[in-house]
Each structure stands twice: as structure tokens, then as C-alpha cells.
Amino acid sequence: MPCAELIAYLDDYLQIAKIADYGPQGLQVEAANNDVRRLALAVDTALPVIAAAAAWGADMLLVHHGILWRSVERLAGPLGARVRLLLQHDVHLYAAHLALDAHPEVGNNAVLAALLGVAIEGWWCEAQGTPIGVVGTVDSPLTELAAQVNARLHTTARVLAHGPARVGRLAIVSGFGADRAAEAQAAGADTLLTGETSHTHYYAAADLGMNVIFAGHYATETVGVQALGRHLAQRFGLETRFFDFPTQM
């Protein structure tokens, strides 16, 4: 399909212009080709990801973590290498960060909820002014919920069992949400599912009496791009492929 048509659809479907982020989202690198037949999907814009997508013959790489963040950098060093490799193989780069976290259909958190059988009752965890996390009801022993997370996301979650043995209300925010335990509790949750953590957040959860499931930053953010890929394949007949480069983090 025409590249401009696909970009316009993505911009509208993901509400790119309406959701503030830490850097420009949407089309980040424009290649020379005018038609997209093969769409590669990935979490990160890393050199091995770009190389694999190019070897497959991708016309566009759609990622969660793009290459443009808080400030404009020089196109040199690691950033320059990524741009050169994209352009060398004539591959567009499209990024959707918070817009993909927050999407009610193909967003990371909405999809995580669906995978775990959570009935979404609200949104929480604002980032740049947009609520990106979901909260809802579930009825499951904590051990079984953690096992389900591991099976669904192909990960090994770290569980802080500071709350009830049976989970009744789960807050979900993909990526880094370890510092949001108090906010999750204020939203009525007894358990928080997020990606990564650090030592400093152990006692914060303990003090609150909150369960926390840390499933990995990468693992919790694989589901959105894959759901978006399925949506685009069904709607436009594009050939899509998800390139899995887990970081174990």
C-alpha cells in the first residue's frame, strides 16, 4: 500500500498528534520507497533488529521504542549508525511509544489485560498527561496469576507477595512502573503488574501491603506491536513479522 496512506492511517488510529511524548513520534526516518508491502515489528530500534528486518525485505520497521527522545541529537555515533542502516536498506522507521501504551484496542496495557482475563474498569498512571495504565477486576490466586503471566509473555516474573494471596483487583502498566505502587493502590488495586524494578522499590511495596509482579520491561511491551501488526495485516493485507530480540530486562 502507499507509504503515505499507511502513515496517515497510523497517525490517526494511534492519535499520534494528540498524545504528548518524550520526543517526536510517528514517522522518525523517511526512506525513499513509496510503497509498503512488508512491515516489520519490534520493541526496540537496535542495530540487530534493523539488520534482521532488512534481511527479510521490510519496507517499514514499526517499533515501540524509536530513536528520537528528549532532545535532538547529532546523527553520529550509535544514532547515526541506526539511521544509516535504515536508509542503506530503504526502510522507513515508525515509532509509537506512549500512544501504543495507551491505545484501548492494541495498546500494551489493554492487550495485557485481555490476555490475563482482566475486566478493565478504568485507566490510571498518567505519563506526559495521558493515562496509559489500566485497572480492573480479576479473581485468581497470586501464584496462578504469576504463572499465567510467565506463560503468556514467555518470561520469568519476579513476584513481591506483600498483599493478599488471592488477587481481586489488578493494576497494569507496561515498562517501568515500580514507582507507581501507591498510585495503583489509590486506584483500588491490591496487585500491580509492571515491567522492571530496582532495589529501592522493594520496601515501598512492602509498606503498602501491595503485591507486585515484575514481568520484565521488554516482555510487557511485546504485546502491543504484535496486536497492531495483526490489525494492519487484517485491514490492509500487509505481510507482517514480529522480530523478537529479548533483553531479559
- Where do the domains of the chain lie? 3-96, 101-220
Give the pLDDT confidence score for residue 115 in this predicted structure. Answer: 98
88 Cβ contact partners less than 8 Å away, ≥ 6 residues apart: 54
User: Does pLDDT of 137 surpass 90?
Assistant: yes
Which residue in 18, 89, 33, 100 sits closest to 66, CA to CA?
100
What is the model's pTM?
A: 0.96
Q: What is the mean pLDDT of residues 124-131?
A: 98
What is the model's pLDDT at position 198?
84
The mean pLDDT of the chain is 96
Which grid coordinates belong to 73? 541529537
Q: Quick one: 147 exposed, middle or buried, by C-beta within 10 A (0-12, 13-18, 19+)?
A: middle
Instruction: Specify the pLDDT at position 110.
Output: 98
Please tell me if the domain spanning 3-96 has the same topology as the one spanning 101-220: yes
Q: What is the pLDDT of residue 74?
A: 84
Residue 104: all three cell numbers together: 484501548
Instruction: Provide mean pLDDT across the span 168-180.
Output: 96
Looking at residue 131, its pLDDT comes to 98
Give, in degrees to the nearest 5, the angle at Cα 38 between 86 and 154: 90
Question: Superfamily for 101-220?
Answer: NIF3 (NGG1p interacting factor 3)-like (3.40.1390.30)
pLDDT band, residue 197 (cuts 50/70/90) = confident
CATH code linked to domain 3-96? 3.40.1390.30
What is the C-alpha separation between 6 and 189, in angstroms, rounded? 38
